[in-house]
Chain A
Amino acid sequence: MQVDLVTVQGLTFSYGGLEVLTDLSFRVKRGDYLGIVGPNGSGKSTLVRSLLGLTSLQQGSVELFGEPLESFRSWAKIGYLSQRLKSLNPAFPATVEEIVGLGLLARKRFPKRRAREDMVAIDRTLTHMGIMDLKKRPFGDLSGGQQQRALLARALVNEPELLILDEPTTALDPETRENFYQLLRHLNRNHGTTIILVTHDTWSIGNYAGRFLYIDKKIVFDGTFEEFCHSEEMTGFFGEYAQHMICHRH
């Protein structure tokens, strides 16, 4: 039997007495393209941070690749890209090549030295993403879209089995956003990369993800897009008009 990549059971999380996640349980199978959708403040980011061990769990459990989060060490299997870097210094002194190289650290042991095959992996990823021309450019000189591509390259350089993306396209213009989604679809279909995409863009998620999870502190819906569109319960929740808008992918 194949091990699920992510298993979340009874995850509950509160900040200062205010519950932001209530009893969440779901699984992500290999090859899934899961969209996690929900309004602002619905706990999406807290969920992602809990999956990655960036906040310690309060209640419930998370397993990654069949291993409890607490003992999970194979971080090289997971690529992560966040909405924007909280502490990102626009003038950070590093070239795109150096930033992408940081993604390789997850599979290294102490002392984490650079190896020749790292250069090959970096070049391969940059070529694949079509940003080989940016290799020697300072990260701080890039446009928002280019920076996000460089950071996606950083997340992909290890060829992760699971890619977790938290609102990755917020800062992008529509055209770059479309290219970005095409790239993700390609990774999912042709490389078998499992993708968890977090977004508040309920309207267009149906274009990309095969399955989606609507959360608003708790799981409101978990299923395929078709199931969502035919669910009377969801018609009740969203109203007919909104459900129609989402399902017809306007």
Chain B
Amino acid sequence: MDIVEILSYGFIQRAMITGVLISVLCAVLGVFLVLRRLSLIGDGLAHVTFGSVAIALLFRTSPVYVTVAAIPLVLLSSLGILKLSEKARVYGDAAIGIVSSCGIACGVILASVAGGFNVDLFSYLFGNILSISQTEMVIAAALFVVVITIVVLFFNDLFALAFDEELARSSGIRADRINAVLVLLTALTVTLAMKVVGIMLISALLILPAVTALQVVRGFTTTILTAAACAVCSVILGILSSFLFNLPTGGMIVIVSLILFAIAFIFKKSRNVS
């Protein structure tokens, strides 16, 4: 089967478009998160997404709108992580641990109370990008525009905070507000990414493109752009290879990201040697 034929399928087109949009968001936010050593916040929020999806399903929300229904709870949890680490003298990683395990716990309990759900929770755990509907694609595109616009508006503040929080604050940047913006955007993106690679693999989408770019690039703006490019390549090659070899798409997207990282790592090593 040639590539043109694969690309002619409607479900592949939807998967490609949605996947590219969401992975770009993940890559851009991932650079800020990785540099601030907050990489695992994505993982924590993904677990919360599991609980939120369970609640949405409990209320018999239509599968198309489950993602949207899960958003408010994930946004609240992201602020919860921030508040726990700021006010309750809980370290950031511990705060993520608390919130993420609570998310899974609630999800499991709710699933049991409801006596199992008619929609397979499994598809949320490992994603099912090929089943993305027209409506879900439109929702993803709308949220893409929202998130990218906010990142562009706060770009310099986010950059300054990633470099050094104290210096940023001494330039009058309100660190607490910008931190809240960053975790809220991450929460929104993670909820969207659930359908692409699944809850279990979302951190790969946030972390791998960022660390790949960090291997090869030296400027800040170029790092962001390179991470986004890596993410786009991973999604396109991941979807194509999964179709060709009949393997799970979410898993293949992550494996392609990993290969790109390995190439970048080897490139950096060889450059350092020469």
**CA–CA, A82 to B152, complex, Å?**
29
A103: contacting residue among B157, B171, B220, CB under 8 A: B171
Q: Is A242 on the interface with B (CB-CB < 8 A)?
A: no
- Cross-chain contact B170 with A80 (CB below 8 angstroms): yes
- Cross-chain contact B160 with A92 (CB below 8 angstroms): no
**CA–CA, A78 to B162, complex, Å?**
21
Knowing A92-B35, A112-B157 are in contact, say whether A98-B219 is a contact too (CB < 8 A).
Answer: yes
A-B pairs, 3 with minimum CB distance: A75-B172, A138-B218, A106-B171
A86: contacting residue among B153, B156, B166, B170, CB under 8 A: B166
- Closest beta carbon of chain B to A98's beta carbon, Å: 5
Which of chain A's residues have a CB closer than 8 A to the CB of B167?
Answer: 80, 82, 85, 102, 151, 154
Q: Is B154 on the interface with A (CB-CB < 8 A)?
A: yes
- Closest beta carbon of chain B to A110's beta carbon, Å: 7
* Size category of the binding interface on chain B: 20 to 34
B172: contacting residue among A73, A93, A94, A111, CB under 8 A: A73
- Cross-chain contact B166 with A85 (CB below 8 angstroms): yes
> Which B residues are closer than 8 A to A by beta carbons?
35, 152-154, 156-157, 159-160, 162-173, 213-214, 217-223
Q: Is A95 on the interface with B (CB-CB < 8 A)?
A: yes
B153, B163, B168: which has the most chain A beta carbons within 10 Å?
A: B163
**CA–CA, A112 to B217, complex, Å?**
24
B160: contacting residue among A80, A102, A113, CB under 8 A: A102
- Closest beta carbon of chain A to B166's beta carbon, Å: 6
Q: Is A54 on the interface with B (CB-CB < 8 A)?
A: yes
Per-residue B-contact encoding for A46-67, CB less than 8 Å = 1, 0 else: 0000001110000000000000
Q: Which residue of A lies closest to B166 (CB)?
A: A54
- In terms of DSSP, what is the predominant structure of the interface of chain B? helix
Within 8 A of B (CB), among A195-239: none
Chain A contributes a number of interface residues (CB within 8 A of B) equal to: 36
A selection of 26 A-B contacts at a CB cut-off of 8 Å is A54-B170, A73-B172, A82-B167, A85-B167, A86-B164, A86-B166, A87-B164, A87-B165, A91-B214, A93-B218, A94-B159, A94-B220, A95-B218, A95-B220, A98-B220, A102-B156, A102-B160, A102-B163, A102-B171, A105-B172, A106-B171, A108-B156, A112-B156, A113-B156, A114-B156, A154-B167
Q: Which residue of B lies closest to A80 (CB)?
A: B170
- Closest beta carbon of chain A to B33's beta carbon, Å: 13
Q: Is A88 on the interface with B (CB-CB < 8 A)?
A: yes
> Which A residues are closer than 8 A to B by beta carbons?
52-54, 73, 75-76, 78, 80, 82, 85-89, 91-95, 98-99, 102-103, 105-106, 108, 110-114, 138, 140-141, 151, 154
Instruction: Contacts A94-B218, A141-B218 known; list 5 others, CB within 8 Å.
Output: A54-B169, A86-B166, A102-B159, A102-B171, A106-B172
**CA–CA, A35 to B82, complex, Å?**
38
- Cross-chain contact B223 with A93 (CB below 8 angstroms): yes
A105: contacting residue among B160, B165, B219, CB under 8 A: B160
- Cross-chain contact A110 with B223 (CB below 8 angstroms): no
- Cross-chain contact A99 with B163 (CB below 8 angstroms): yes
Which of chain B's residues have a CB closer than 8 A to the CB of A82?
Answer: 166-167
- Cross-chain contact A78 with B154 (CB below 8 angstroms): no
- Cross-chain contact B164 with A85 (CB below 8 angstroms): yes
